[in-house]
Amino acid sequence: MTGSVLITGATSGFGLATARKYAQNGYPLILTGRRQERLDDIAAELKDQCEVFVYPLDVRDADAVQAFVKAIPEAFRDVQVLVNNAGLALGASPALEAKLQDWHTMIDTNVTGLVNVTHALLPILVAQPSATIINLASVASNWAYPGAHVYGASKAFVAQFSRNLRCDFAGTGVRITSLEPGMAESEFSLVRFDGDKDKYQQIYQGAEALQSEDIAEIIYWISHLPSHVNINSLEVMPTRQAWDNFKVVRKQD
């Protein structure tokens, strides 16, 4: 692999850890996220290890995504890995208590944003001898749980979109993976619980949750497999996490 690596949502969590992993191995990096200050800090941190192009981007804005792709400098244009990582969950309370705006934000980010970036990058990726798209789905793509309503549904879109793209790109050099992590410690839960630090700590307490570096290792591994190998989907959980029973809400006599 000689081309560049584009990571959306590189300002924290999985995206940042993944940027660091590829940087350690000298790959040119294109890093985006909405927080310019963080992007600048990350560029300063990584600049001695690799070439870095940072660009503030809200993936929900299709025009901004187009402008971003046009702005990628010549030296970075051979994108060989796209990590579609930008995403979020908002809330985990029952659907009846959920805010409609939160539902829209999750769909706009996790579904529309990922589609915006993918559509803009596909012509570049398909022109490479080999390329890899790694889409951050979730265990919530595959399994229902209370309070997951729109978040889980948005991630189910990501998983199915990934599979469907495989059908259209089989026979080209483009590989596509739906990566489906379970509980992983990152700012994800701070965002989900609106900055509530107590809830954030409770969630991960004693869980030995996945770390962003674990996900970065997996992403790096997937993209470095021989080019004839496509990981279609990969679900990963902390060892301490597993499924529970179906619930039965019993009728009261």
Residue 151 annotated as catalytic: yes
Residue nearest ligand 8X3, CB atom distance: 138
Give the shortest CB-75-to-ligand NDP separation in angstroms.
23
> Which window, 19-27, 71-79, 117-125, 133-141, contacts ligand 8X3 (CB under 6 A)?
133-141
**Could you report how far apart the first and last alpha carbons of the chain are, in Å?**
66
**Residue 119 touches ligand NDP, criterion: CB under 6 A:** no
Q: Mark 87-116 with x for binding to ligand NDP (rule: CB under 6 A) and - for no binding.
A: xx--------------------x---x---
Q: Which of residues 178-237 bind ligand NDP (CB under 6 A)?
A: 181, 183-184, 186-188, 191, 212
Rounded to a whole number of angstroms, the minimum distance from the CB of residue 175 to ligand 8X3 is 22
Coil, strand, or helix at residue 20? helix
Q: What angle do CA 209, 80, 210 make, to 5 degrees?
A: 0
Q: Which of 27, 151, 200, 220 is catalytic?
A: 151
Sign of CA dihedral 134, 32, 35, 18: positive
């700012």: which residue's tokens? 187
CA 70 – CA 55 distance, rounded (Å): 12
Told to check if 86 binds ligand 8X3 by CB under 6 A, we report: no
Bin 9: left if φ > 0, else alpha if -120 < ψ < 50, else beta: left
Question: Which residues are CB-neighbours of 46 under 8 A, at least 6 positions away?
Answer: 19, 20, 23, 29, 52
Whole-Å CA distances, 199 to 183, 195, 240: 14, 9, 19
Among 183, 190, 207, 234, binds ligand 8X3 (CB under 6 A): 183
Give the interface with ligand NDP as residue ranges (CB under 6 A): 8-15, 33-35, 38, 57-60, 85-88, 109, 113, 136, 138, 181, 183-184, 186-188, 191, 212
Give the interface with ligand 8X3 as residue ranges (CB under 6 A): 138-140, 148, 182-183
Catalytic residues: 151
